[in-house]
Amino acid sequence: MKYSVSPHLSVIGMTGAGKTTLVKLLLEQAARKKLNVVVFDMHGEYSELAQRFGGVAGPPKIPLCELSDQELLAVTGLLRVQSPIRMMRYLRFFVRAFCALAKKIEIRDLPAALQRAADAMIMLDSINPSVKTLDGRDSIMAEFVNTLKEEIGGTMYNSLKEMARKDEERMAAAMMYLLWAASVMQMELYEGGRPPFYVINMFESKELFMTSDVMMGTLSYIIRKLVEMREEAVLVIEEAAKLMEDETMARIIYMALAQMRKFGIIVILISQKPGDYIANTRIIAGRVQNVAWARELASLAPQMPGEVARLLPQLSRGQFVYIDGDVVPLLVAV
């Protein structure tokens, strides 16, 4: 398979059709060709493969200090909030100051430090930054306030203090969203370097999958990093059709399908049912017993849709139909 010119793929089939086996074979080929591989694993099926090729598997990690505004909105869930502009402004000031503070002092417990700094952000109008210790235990609140003042300047700092007094509810909500994100995932300050074969185990926390906010933020960040690397890569997304039911997630995946091939990156979407994304991909269909789904897939093979619709429910494990609008559908055995 020549990845630099390969189309994006949608691998569709019922449970037991052999989708994972097929994708693993494709990823083994990619790994042997020294391509970068990233898998969003919803079922815990790719960890051993990653380890075999010198990669790692684990829950999603988001580097707080490297996130773009869009990624920060996605990770915290603010994309789902109506008119999040002011809350985003507070978050930007907070992250800017917190990351500057992290360069000056050692932060061992990131969630605890975020909590202390968030408390300080909400209490700006009542905190004296010249006080060395505020509560007898640590000085991180005062140090954060000092760093915030240094980063944004005295005039903006005084304005922010006034906003903290008048708009405490929105500021507190912005901090709450960030602390929630930090509590349900492995947030870090900076990315420590990603191996060439990286499996992101979304299945380890049902909360992550159910809300999908961290999934959206992680996917947005991964896409940007893959593009910036300017190296050939394969990005695998499991349960694609379910994810595409989320309008915001659908926009991210559409963007990936539209833009990533020009950077030498192909996307493999895995699902049990068809979805709107199939228009931008080549279809590899395994056994599909749902009549409506079989007909939908068969309609993409205009040369012989009737034959394909009858064939899909009868396929054995490891048998797939490669559907391309430009060629006669092919029966492939894995």
The percentage of residues in the chain with a pLDDT greater than 70, rounded to a whole number, is: 93
Rounded Cα distance between 261 and 246, Å, is 23
The pLDDT assigned to 91 comes to 94
Q: What are the start-end ranges of the E strands in 176-239?
A: 186-188, 197-201, 233-237
Residues 40 and 129 in one domain: no
How remote is the C-alpha of 101 from its chain's centroid? 27
The pLDDT assigned to 208 comes to 47
The pLDDT assigned to 80 comes to 79
Per-residue pLDDT reduced to its tens digit, 103-140: 998 898 999 999 999 999 998 877 766 655 555 445 78
Residues 17 and 121 in one domain: no
**Domain end call among 184, 213, 245:** 184
Residues 142 and 239 in one domain: no
Tally of domains in the chain: 2
**Domain end call among 156, 184, 212:** 184
**Domain end call among 149, 184, 219:** 184
Residues 24 and 112 in one domain: no
Which of the two residues, 74 and 5, has the higher pLDDT score?
74
Helix axes 69-76, 213-229, angle to 10 degrees: 150
Residues 50 and 86 in one domain: no
The pLDDT assigned to 294 comes to 94
Rounded Cα distance between 75 and 84, Å, is 13
Contacts 24+ apart (CB under 8 A), 72-77: 72/217, 74/213, 74/216, 74/217, 74/220, 74/248, 75/181, 75/213, 75/214, 75/216, 75/217, 75/218, 76/174, 76/177, 76/178, 76/180, 76/181, 76/213, 76/217, 77/177, 77/180, 77/181, 77/211, 77/213
The string of DSSP codes covering 70-100 is HHHHHHHTGGGSSS-HHHHHHHHHHHHHHHH
Rounded Cα distance between 99 and 274, Å, is 43
Residues 180 and 257 in one domain: no
pLDDT, mean of residues 284-293: 95
Rounded Cα distance between 28 and 50, Å, is 9
Residues 56 and 200 in one domain: yes
271: containing domain: 9-60+196-333
Whole-number mean pLDDT of the chain? 88
Helix axes 140-152, 154-166, angle to 10 degrees: 120
Position 260 in a domain: yes
Residues 41 and 88 in one domain: no
Residues 131 and 254 in one domain: no
Position 101 in a domain: yes
The pLDDT assigned to 5 comes to 53
Per-residue pLDDT reduced to its tens digit, 238-276: 999 988 888 888 888 998 898 898 899 999 999 999 988
Position 190 in a domain: no
Position 244 in a domain: yes
Helix axes 168-183, 213-229, angle to 10 degrees: 70
- Three-state DSSP class for residue 254: helix
Position 254 in a domain: yes
pLDDT, mean of residues 4-23: 89
Q: pLDDT-derived band of residue 209, with 50, 70 and 90 as boundaries? A: very low
Residues 208 and 141 in one domain: no
- Of residues 237, 245, 301, 296, the one with CA closest to residue 271: 237
Rounded Cα distance between 171 and 134, Å, is 21
Buried b or exposed e, range 7-25, using 16+ CB within 10 angstroms: ebbbbbbbeebbbbebbbe
Residues 25 and 122 in one domain: no
Residues 264 and 283 in one domain: yes
3-class SS shares of the chain: helix, strand, coil, % to 5: 55, 15, 30
- Three-state DSSP class for residue 164: helix
Beta bridge partners of 283: 10, 323
Position 223 in a domain: yes
| Structural contact between residues 20 and 284, judged by C-beta atoms closer than 8 angstroms | no
Per-residue pLDDT reduced to its tens digit, 169-202: 899 999 999 998 888 788 899 988 888 999 998 8
